[in-house]
Chains A and B, each alone.
Chain A
Amino acid sequence: MSPDPNGRIRVAIVDDEDLARQVLREYLSSHPEIEIVAECANGFEAVKAVAELKPDLVFLDIQMPKLDGFEVLELIGNDTAVVFITAHDNFAIRAFEVHATDYLLKPVSAARFEAALQRAKERLEGKSPAAAVAPAELAAAARPASQHVDRIPVRDGARVSIIPVAKLDYVEAQDDYVALVSEGKKHLKQQTIASLEAALDPSRFMRVHRSYIVNLERVAKIEPYSKDSHVAVLTTGAQLPVSRAGYARLREFLDR
């Protein structure tokens, strides 16, 4: 995240309301070093713009069509500084006080906006460290514990797809990524398997192995593999390793 050699900062503004974007545009217009590279009115456009134009800084509304601000943050990676803008959202305030570069409340005052911009600049110049955690982890931390996701947004380049959890067969951990397998396709996402496990409904998904989470509805049978391990055969034909602890959990679930 190195600043542009000429000191220019490339900014994207994301808000579904034209008037809300207008305020930010106006505030930014007094800063000659700022270049507005994109204005987006929904989550899909935002992800696409960030992937293609790689802005340094994004002003991001939370409630929007298609993808909300949290989902956008999950998908754009952490090379971009994000300032959230929201009308009234205690929950976002709490979660992002720690992690996001800044958050602004509507109506946004000029002074508060300048402070946020200053903070973003410091972050871009490397004076303050970027969040060390992946954005998907932040979004997971921001979700109330009792609430489970019913869909998972994934990004492939500038293309966003949304996987409803009912169509998710299983999840496999691959280094820093998870591979989500749904309808015969594999989607990669930068997230740890543990945080994905926490986001999924435990009555529908189970961690059967250090590297695997399975959709319980897809489990056709469990077969012994070696002395202490088993394989789960899914209705799709896929075979997943099941650890000893995973087997105990599965048995407990199947016996119930």
Chain B
Amino acid sequence: MTILLTYLLSFTHETTVEEALILAVPLCIFYAFVCQSAQYSCRALPPERVGLDKLGLIHAGAAAMAGALWVFSAMVLAWILSSSINALRGLSDRLHAGPELPIIFVTGFLVYLLSTLGYYVQIALEASRDAEARLMRMSILAREAELKALKAQVNPHFLFNSLNSISALTSSDPAKAREMCILLGDFLRRTLGLGEKSTIPLDEEMSLIHAFLAVEKTRYGARLQMEETIAKDALAVDVPPLLLQPLVENAISHGIANLVDGGWIRLNVGCDNGNVSIVLENLFDPEAPARRRNGVGLANVRQRLQARYGNRASFLAKAEGDRFRVSIVVPSGEATSKEATAS
């Protein structure tokens, strides 16, 4: 830029190359700072919120002011130089006489506009980098929630209690003990296979729940009653694996387990308008002693739905009197995690 200005100023022959250089170097250093102010106006005026015409007008005005400031500083500099250094005497007058000042103004105007443009490009680049990082973070979070769900899956409490039941049955009812071993094995095998899948048909999730309930039924006996009403079309819909099983487990450990005489769990699945709506309701004792791990299962399901479907899915958990209800709506179409990451 210094070279350009030196060339432009000496081109007019009013000033020599040396004189032009002496003027141009400090002026350009000064102007470099002036142009940086464009950064602030760029950040304050994002093009997507301010109209393009208005934006052009504002920046042209700013550029004209910057150019005028530059002309003024050139005049001041020339005056100082010509009055203090003998060899440069008359520089100020020659500057005023020739076309140098308009040249300085036009150059300043254009350079300021260019730097404005440069800053917009820089801001856009930063924003896209940010968006990329955010997307990455989101998908990591989603993945983490999925992994957590899978890890939390085989709840140690469930496993140890089941083993204890088996150990009780070995002497009193060996056949039943064997049956429970098989049921537990069946459930564990089903959960192990889920790690690689991003969605499974609801049908498969239901089989998992049935395997789980079969084991819990041995422990709780008549205290545990499950009622299901599931629309036929819903069974083929793809859902994230372990969407419902943690909710059923929650209903047992925070609901049924605290009731002396047990109680029911009701699952209702309906299908309409491209959505699957799931309602899981259970009885619970509002005065039961608090248990740890409370709500971890619920929070995890909520996070996974949020990460995968955003606001196309809804999750609502609510206690009403002695009933606890979880209502979920998920899109039944080809709603995959790919779609979520692309948007």
CB-CB under 8 A from A88, the residues of chain B are 156-157, 160
Q: What is the CB-to-nearest-CB distance from A2 to chain B, in angstroms, rounded to a whole number?
A: 33
- Given A65-B260, A66-B260, A88-B156: A17 in contact with B219 (beta carbons within 8 A): yes
Q: What is the CB-to-nearest-CB distance from B244 to chain A, in angstroms, rounded to a whole number?
A: 23
Nearest residue (CB) in A for B262 is: A65
Top 5 A-B pairs, shortest CB-CB distance:
A106-B164, A19-B168, A87-B160, A68-B289, A107-B164
Interface string of A170-205 (1 = CB under 8 A from B): 000000000000000000000000000000000000
Which parts of B242-261 form the interface with A (CB within 8 Å)? 257-260
Nearest residue (CB) in A for B223 is: A16
Nearest residue (CB) in B for A22 is: B168
- Is there contact, CB below 8 Å, between A20 and B289? no
Interface residues of B (CB under 8 A from A): 156-157, 160-161, 163-169, 171-172, 218-221, 257-260, 285, 287-292
A23 proximal to B (CB < 8 A) = yes
How far apart sit A133 and B169, CA to CA, in the bound complex (Å)?
A: 38
How far apart sit A64 and B166, CA to CA, in the bound complex (Å)?
A: 20
How far apart sit A88 and B156, CA to CA, in the bound complex (Å)?
A: 7
Nearest residue (CB) in A for B165 is: A19
A63 proximal to B (CB < 8 A) = yes
Nearest residue (CB) in A for B163 is: A107
From B160, B171, B288, A65 is in contact (CB under 8 Å) with B288
A26 proximal to B (CB < 8 A) = yes
A41 proximal to B (CB < 8 A) = yes
- Is there contact, CB below 8 Å, between B163 and A106? yes
Interface of A is mostly: loop
How far apart sit A151 and B285, CA to CA, in the bound complex (Å)?
A: 14
Q: What is the CB-to-nearest-CB distance from A201 to chain B, in angstroms, rounded to a whole number?
A: 14
Interface string of A94-132 (1 = CB under 8 A from B): 000000000001111000000000000000000000000
Which parts of A43-84 form the interface with B (CB within 8 Å)? 43, 63-68, 71
CB-CB under 8 A from B257, the residues of chain A are 16, 63, 65
CB-CB under 8 A from B218, the residues of chain A are 19
Nearest residue (CB) in A for B156 is: A88
CB-CB under 8 A from B171, the residues of chain A are 26
CB-CB under 8 A from B260, the residues of chain A are 16, 41-42, 65-66
How far apart sit A68 and B287, CA to CA, in the bound complex (Å)?
A: 12
A150 proximal to B (CB < 8 A) = yes
- Is there contact, CB below 8 Å, between A66 and B168? no
From B157, B168, B290, A20 is in contact (CB under 8 Å) with B168
Interface string of A203-219 (1 = CB under 8 A from B): 00000000000000000
Nearest residue (CB) in B for A43 is: B289
CB-CB under 8 A from B291, the residues of chain A are 63, 68
Using A19-B169, A19-B219, A106-B160 as known contacts, list a sample of 12 further A-B pairs with CB atoms less than 8 Å apart, ordered by residue number in A.
A16-B257, A17-B219, A20-B164, A20-B168, A23-B167, A26-B172, A65-B257, A65-B260, A66-B258, A71-B289, A87-B164, A107-B164
- Given A23-B168, A42-B260, A65-B260: A150 in contact with B290 (beta carbons within 8 A): yes
Most chain B CB inside 10 Å of its own CB: which residue of A67, A88, A107, A108: A107
A-B residue pairs in contact (CB < 8 Å), sample of 9: A17-B220, A19-B164, A19-B218, A23-B167, A65-B260, A66-B288, A71-B289, A108-B164, A151-B287
Q: What is the CB-to-nearest-CB distance from A135 to chain B, in angstroms, rounded to a whole number?
A: 16
CB-CB under 8 A from A71, the residues of chain B are 289
- Is there contact, CB below 8 Å, between B167 and A107? yes
How far apart sit A64 and B258, CA to CA, in the bound complex (Å)?
A: 6
- Is there contact, CB below 8 Å, between A87 and B220? no
- Is there contact, CB below 8 Å, between B156 and A20? no
Which parts of A23-45 form the interface with B (CB within 8 Å)? 23, 26, 41-43
Q: What is the CB-to-nearest-CB distance from B87 to chain A, in angstroms, rounded to a whole number?
A: 76
CB-CB under 8 A from A41, the residues of chain B are 260
Nearest residue (CB) in B for A153 is: B289
CB-CB under 8 A from A22, the residues of chain B are 168, 172
